[in-house]
Structure 1
Amino acid sequence: MKNKHDTYNTLFHWHNFKLNLVVEGMVVGALAGLFVVLYRFLLEKTEVLTSKIYVLQKQNNYLILVWFIVLALLAYIVGIMIKREPMISGSGIPQVEGVLLRRLNMNWFRVIVGKFVGGVLAIGAGLSLGREGPSVQIGAAIGQGFSRIFKRIKIEEKYLITSGASAGLAAAFNAPLAGVVFALEEVHKNFYPLVLLSAMSASLTADFVSKNFFGLKPVFNFKNLYILPLNQYIYLIVLGIILGVLGAFFNKMLIKTQDFYISKKWLPIEFRPMIPFLIAGVLGLFLPQVLGGGHDLISSLVEGKYTINMIFVILVIKFVFTMLSYGSGAPGGIFLPLLVIGALTGNIYGSIIAKYFQIDSHYISNFIILSMAGYFTAIVKAPITGSILITEMTGSFNHLLPLTIVSIISYVVTDILNFEPIYEVLLERMLNKKGNNEFCGDKSKKVLLEIAVCLGTELDGKIVRDIKWPKNALLVAIKRGELEIIPKGNTKILAGDYLIVLVNEYEAPKVKCMLKEMAEKLLIDNVSNH
């Protein structure tokens, strides 16, 4: 019997697995949805339990010491888990992208267990981390596990991992469209039809599962929202610029915080989480609003519970605590904390212009929503995902235009400041750590790469025989819409084509990097000529 990974089977399955992707995407989506639902449920219960513990501490002071001992033990447990399985540290999204690039290996079972347990302990204890990163990685690991158990070919596994990641985000935030767009815009960085097909199947299924448990209401149930008048859009430009600058600052400080932990040679990896765990214990007594992801904090901002001075204090402490929490390597994401920081910034901005520029205070809630999208875009540099995510989380499509405007402006600002997307930076740091920047793969196994050809690049308009192809890579097909072309020497490659290239698994990352540069890097000559 032929090996599942030989050339024949790789090519054979390429033409016969469209329907499989839909069905398997739904299965992976259902499994990921169930795991993330359980994850969300346990997080909610642990956060309620933690709140009750702090109330008891204020009534019985002797419990404070007991609680700090418990926090230290939990921190040590999480630290040991991170040391034994480094792939569970932090968000998990950079790890998923590294796996899809075949530059990182992931043990799917250990990641599911470690990320699940570690995330519940860390976020439940009050660390300023979000559930979305772990949900994405857990979903991706489920997709990989499904592929390994049923012995799918490598290219199919790639789609299943993406499907699981998309499903994880959809179930985490009740945002199926954001889950799909996230897979396309952030994880794969192109809108390839097969990715769309599998991710949408998984994302919609996971969202259906999630809503059966948590209901149909959006994550942020904003009430009495008013539509911002067009003559007030000038304030969106200023807001976008501010969020772009602050987003770049967030990225810079996150990296510096990681460097801070690494520079402390006397502090082993397993003891790093103790810093944010013990700080959480202190903050729980004096400022419990900054604990956890911050979902309730955003809801309280809309209700106008805090003065502008108090909001500023919460913003500063939430920012610093998020840096210390994530920098320690504890399992947890930055999606929700950065949305909270964005919301706080928008509240302050809206309050200031309402006070000094005579804008109706009803519109402060609008600026809270817009700032979440703009801040997300500035940090992650995924404007479409940010706009759709906030739209789905708030359940209001009336703000799509201002959301998009703020997102685009903040994106342009971070581009001018020359800041890279945070997940790409974190991935590169991960790969460079301890010389771990090596390609993963087996020389005896074959994989198919899909490369999107962009307008004005080296491959656009070129004849196949005139292109200097990487060694040990074979162009086997060109996808042009629904048409699949068998390439010949005189076949012309056009912008919008998808190149299907056969290569052995070991050399796949290197070949893909070379081809992506040829297919995506704009030629100055082409730009000037047009």
Structure 2
Amino acid sequence: MNNDFRLKSVNYLLNGLTVGVVVGALVSAFRWIIEQQLSFVERLYILAHQHHLLLLFILGANIIIGLVVAVLIKENPNIKGSGIPQVKGQLLGKIDYPYWSALWRKFVSGVLSIGSGLFLGREGPSIQIGSTAAQGIAAFRNVDDELRRVIIAAGAAAGLSAAFNAPIASSMFVLEEIYHRFPLKVWPTVLGAAAVSNFVSTVAFGQQPALHIVYQDAFPLGQYWHLIILGCLLGLGGLVYQQSILYSGTLFKPFQKIPNYLWVLVPLVLILPIGYFMPITLGGGNQLILAISKNVPSISILALYIVVRLVFATLSYGSGAPGGFFLPILAMGALLGATYGQIMVQLGLLPAPLVINLIIFSMAAYFACITKSVFTAVLLITEMVGTVTELMPLAITALIAYAVVDLFNGQPIYDQLLNNIIKKRG
């Protein structure tokens, strides 16, 4: 009996290791191409200040990109959006689709959409790429349905781990938000896949955390009253963000006569003035987070960033373009935390160096209240920022924001998006 138990445990771990190697390589390539493309696009916008004809080149390129992405979405609608609701639906047995058709289309369309500067994150597509690659491994091995779901869950965790270099948070996200169960056969497979995938991405990108933010001091206990106010404000802001994502499709009412797979052309055309005047805001938001943490802008600039990010992130997601809002949530949380901090500094109620701490807390709290995944939020920011000394203020701010959303009956965003997909499919 004990030998049988040990063999099963080793088998679960080996499944995870196999998935981790494959997914880690795929998602690392996905991440690298997006980073290179975004860097190139930002340089083009900067050069356009001197050579205005470049704007016509960018416009033409974006239209071509939009048409290619539209064709891919038309061929397989399962690649629309972040992909996390689709993976969740698969694990719940409510949705299923062929892995190869979704895998390569999600990879290509995700690179084109996110790399062109739309306000979308790489994490959702990375999760779906990971889960579909794992689905292929399960099909190749011809496993039973139960083990197939475990392997798909491991692929999802491996995808997120490679995208953010956060293996513990990635495992917790899949178990807390997607799989909802912690049986023996799941956690070693999921954690093994996430750890190996993280190793592969670390070889490719180095050991520095994905959002390495340097702060001077730990947040003083005497300033903890800020966490209560900030948590409440972030909770209210989280409700607004939830609704903006859920009803993002309403922004396209003027285009109802156009097939919805062509809606992706709208944000790709409208992105030009944003890229021209504010290239730092392009993409999911990781560059913006790092920029404001090094040099916190004025309140007016932060307010402008908040409005632009909220409106255009909603437009980008509502278009159905393949990309997530995981990283855009963190960017919005960082902006809100920085704004609150700067206001308190102006009022003489907060030392200026502590604004950086509030940026870190706000990312965790904003993510926690929108996704309703507090454990994942705290672990994610801890791993992405590279700090373990601020766990208590992280948890306090996240719990308060979570409680505010709960008070107003806010539901987990991915559950609501999955329900919308199921309703549309009858």
1:20-419 equivalences in 2 (<5 Å) = 20-261=11-252, 264-304=255-295, 306-419=297-410
Residues 227-275 of structure 1: CA distance to partner in whole angstroms, max 9, x if unpaired? 0111111110111111111101101111221233367421212320011
Residues 358-392 of structure 1: CA distance to partner in whole angstroms, max 9, x if unpaired? 32111000000000000001111100000000000
Greater relative CO, 1 or 2 (CA 8 Å, sep 6+): 2
Kindly indicate which of the two structures has a greater share of residues assigned to strand. 1
SS of corresponding position for 1:228: coil
* Distance in 2 separating the partners of 1:137 and 1:425: 18
Give the Å deviation of 1:357: 4.0
* Distance in 2 separating the partners of 1:20 and 1:259: 48
Q: Which residue is 1:508 aligned to?
A: none
SS of corresponding position for 1:58: coil
* Distance in 1 separating the partners of 2:71 and 2:8: 41
Give the Å deviation of 1:413: 0.8
1:424 and 2:415 equivalent?
yes
* Distance in 2 separating the partners of 1:414 and 1:224: 29
* Distance in 2 separating the partners of 1:286 and 1:376: 28
The amino acid across from 1:42 in the alignment is: I
SS of corresponding position for 2:49: helix
Give the Å deviation of 1:18: 3.4
* Distance in 2 separating the partners of 1:67 and 1:264: 23
Preserved contact between residue 25 and residue 163 of structure 1 (Cα < 8 Å)? yes
* Distance in 2 separating the partners of 1:20 and 1:225: 45
* Distance in 1 separating the partners of 2:386 and 2:60: 42
Preserved contact between residue 289 and residue 314 of structure 1 (Cα < 8 Å)? no
Give the Å deviation of 1:16: 6.7
* Distance in 2 separating the partners of 1:262 and 1:93: 25
SS of corresponding position for 1:217: coil
Kindly indicate which of the two structures has a greater share of residues assigned to helix. 2
Query: Structure 2 vs 1, CA of residues 225 and 19 (structure 1 numbering), >3 Å: closer, same or farther?
Result: same
SS of corresponding position for 1:194: coil
* Distance in 1 separating the partners of 2:114 and 2:413: 21
Query: Structure 2 vs 1, CA of residues 14 and 147 (structure 1 numbering), >3 Å: closer, same or farther?
Result: farther
1:459-474 equivalences in 2 (<5 Å) = none
Moved more, 221-230 or 231-240: 221-230
The amino acid across from 1:321 in the alignment is: F
* Distance in 2 separating the partners of 1:273 and 1:223: 37
* Distance in 2 separating the partners of 1:210 and 1:284: 29
Preserved contact between residue 108 and residue 144 of structure 1 (Cα < 8 Å)? yes
The amino acid across from 1:214 in the alignment is: F
Give the Å deviation of 1:119: 0.7
* Distance in 1 separating the partners of 2:294 and 2:364: 20
* Distance in 2 separating the partners of 1:331 and 1:433: 18
Preserved contact between residue 132 and residue 152 of structure 2 (Cα < 8 Å)? yes
Residues 471-509 of structure 1: CA distance to partner in whole angstroms, max 9, x if unpaired? xxxxxxxxxxxxxxxxxxxxxxxxxxxxxxxxxxxxxxx
Structure 1, unaligned runs of 5 or more: 1-12, 436-530
* Distance in 2 separating the partners of 1:225 and 1:190: 39
* Distance in 2 separating the partners of 1:55 and 1:262: 33
Give the Å deviation of 1:305: 5.0
Give the Å deviation of 1:302: 1.2
The amino acid across from 1:50 in the alignment is: V
Preserved contact between residue 132 and residue 168 of structure 1 (Cα < 8 Å)? yes
* Distance in 2 separating the partners of 1:429 and 1:264: 20
* Distance in 2 separating the partners of 1:224 and 1:97: 36
| Rg comparison, structure with higher value | 1
* Distance in 2 separating the partners of 1:394 and 1:178: 12
* Distance in 1 separating the partners of 2:303 and 2:206: 33
% identical equivalent positions: 37
SS of corresponding position for 1:333: coil
Structure 2, unaligned runs of 5 or more: none
* Distance in 2 separating the partners of 1:264 and 1:159: 41
The amino acid across from 2:68 in the alignment is: I
* Distance in 2 separating the partners of 1:260 and 1:350: 32
Query: Structure 2 vs 1, CA of residues 147 and 263 (structure 1 numbering), >3 Å: closer, same or farther?
Result: farther
Number of matched pairs: 423
The amino acid across from 2:157 in the alignment is: S
The amino acid across from 1:409 in the alignment is: I
Give the Å deviation of 1:328: 0.5
* Distance in 1 separating the partners of 2:257 and 2:281: 29
TM-score by length of 2: 0.96
* Distance in 2 separating the partners of 1:205 and 1:334: 25
Give the Å deviation of 1:311: 1.1
The amino acid across from 2:43 in the alignment is: K
Q: Which residue is 1:489 aligned to?
A: none
* Distance in 1 separating the partners of 2:5 and 2:424: 35
* Distance in 2 separating the partners of 1:184 and 1:280: 36
Give the Å deviation of 1:55: 2.6
The amino acid across from 1:122 in the alignment is: S
* Distance in 1 separating the partners of 2:154 and 2:330: 24
Query: Structure 2 vs 1, CA of residues 16 and 305 (structure 1 numbering), >3 Å: closer, same or farther?
Result: closer
Preserved contact between residue 76 and residue 270 of structure 1 (Cα < 8 Å)? no
